[in-house]
Amino acid sequence: MTKNEIKIFSPATVANVSCGYDVLGFCLDTIGDEMIVRKTEKKGIFITKIEGYKLPFEAKKNVAGVSALAMLADAQPNCGFEIEIYKKIKPGSGIGSSSASACGSVFAINELLGRPYNKTQVTDFAMKGEALASGSEHADNLAPGIFGGFTLVKSTSPLEVLQLPTPKDMYATIIHPQIEIKTSDARAILPKEFPLTDAITQWANVGSFVHALHTNDYDLLKRALHDVIVEPHRSRLIPHFAEVKSAALIHGALGAGISGAGPSIFTLSKGIENAKSVERAMRDVYSSTTIAFETYVSRINTGGIKIL
């Protein structure tokens, strides 16, 4: 028998992972939103509660509503759904705030409908919601939320997601300076063309990163975590980016870069002690400024969205 109500934890995610603009991502487990979704007799999508941040209640203006409406248009169920969003991930943070809502609603509705769609199809509906926030369809935040762990989006049309292995002992440290960068703005500042030499460096890094995950090769992973395409343009939107990155690398991070469209900065480390030492080093940089910030140390969440 299918349930009438479900409560979920929809985790924050890190997109791009330096070398993989729009294709690589991974899932965190210490920060995420909670959502409650329940069936209603009346057809349609009704956002009835939003706590944490001010966001639109109108389904067509909220990413959770847009992805849910896309799923309903296809599934044509004999009921509707109301959605409560308990938002912990600040919108415009760069750790997939919009994505957590966009995939949370469709994950939950799929469960309440008896799971008619597979993970790729659920991600495809979520992409319709994410497009509202970023102005384009991409799935590098959504796929790690739905599949868990590290993911590679092989293509968006048709959507093809590859789940990648997570090396043992891998931790992420995130610092989130409390300024907002809209993904649509961060995309608009990127050049439309890049030198072929930079493209060659970048795709060699993506291939090496994926190989490193498969072979548990931390040394190769460290050498692959570089971004010559996007970071040079976006880093100027993030105050003290260069100092934070260099402090993280000096204190044992394997790599550091912009999380999604920023302003959060992510690092990957081997072992919790390194991850915590990187956290202290990054906090020290912002502590000497007037910028408010938060930090998170997290295991890589290999399960993705969780039913509570």
Ligand X SMILES: N[C@@H](CCO)C(=O)O
Judged by the rule CB under 6 A, the positions of this chain that interact with ligand X are 15-16, 21-22, 134, 138, 140-141, 183, 186-187, 260-261
Distance CA 272, CA 298 (A): 9
Q: Tell whether residue 183 is a contact of ligand ATP (CB under 6 A).
A: yes
Cβ closest to ligand X, residue 81 vs residue 266: 266
Question: Could you tell me where the beta strands, DSSP code E, fall in the chain?
Answer: 5-15, 24-40, 45-51, 80-86, 150-156, 159-164, 170-177, 255-258, 265-270, 293-299, 306-307
Cβ closest to ligand ATP, residue 68 vs residue 212: 68
Distance CA 264, CA 281 (A): 15
CB 231 → ligand X: shortest distance, Å? 10
Binding mask 52-71 for ligand ATP (x = CB under 6 A): ---x------xxx-------
Known active-site residue 193: no
Residue 273 neighbours by CB distance under 10 Å: 11
CB environment 163-184: b (16+ within 10 A), e (fewer): bbebbeebbbbbbbbeeebebe
Cβ closest to ligand ATP, residue 201 vs residue 295: 295
Q: Which partner from the list ligand ATP, ligand X, none does 64 bind, CB cut-off 5 to 8 Å by kind?
A: ligand ATP
7, 88, 119, 182: which one contacts ligand ATP (CB under 6 A)?
182
Q: Tell whether residue 101 is a contact of ligand ATP (CB under 6 A).
A: yes
Residue 148 neighbours by CB distance under 10 Å: 23
Q: Nearest 5°: phi and psi at 40? A: -125, 155
Q: Which partner from the list ligand X, ligand ATP, none does 32 bind, CB cut-off 5 to 8 Å by kind?
A: none
The catalytic position among 183, 231, 267, 279 is 183
Q: Which partner from the list ligand ATP, ligand X, none does 253 bind, CB cut-off 5 to 8 Å by kind?
A: none
Residue 206 neighbours by CB distance under 10 Å: 18
Cβ closest to ligand X, residue 22 vs residue 243: 22
Q: Which partner from the list ligand X, ligand ATP, none does 229 bind, CB cut-off 5 to 8 Å by kind?
A: none
Q: Which partner from the list ligand ATP, ligand X, none does 22 bind, CB cut-off 5 to 8 Å by kind?
A: ligand X
CB environment 65-79: b (16+ within 10 A), e (fewer): bbbbbbbbeeeebee
Sign of the Cα torsion 117, 88, 11, 35 reads negative
Is 159 in contact with 123 (CB distance < 8 Å)? yes
Known active-site residue 5: no
Catalytic residues: 130, 183
- Return residues touching ligand ATP (CB under 6 A): 15, 55, 62-64, 85, 91-99, 101, 133-134, 141, 182-183, 260-261
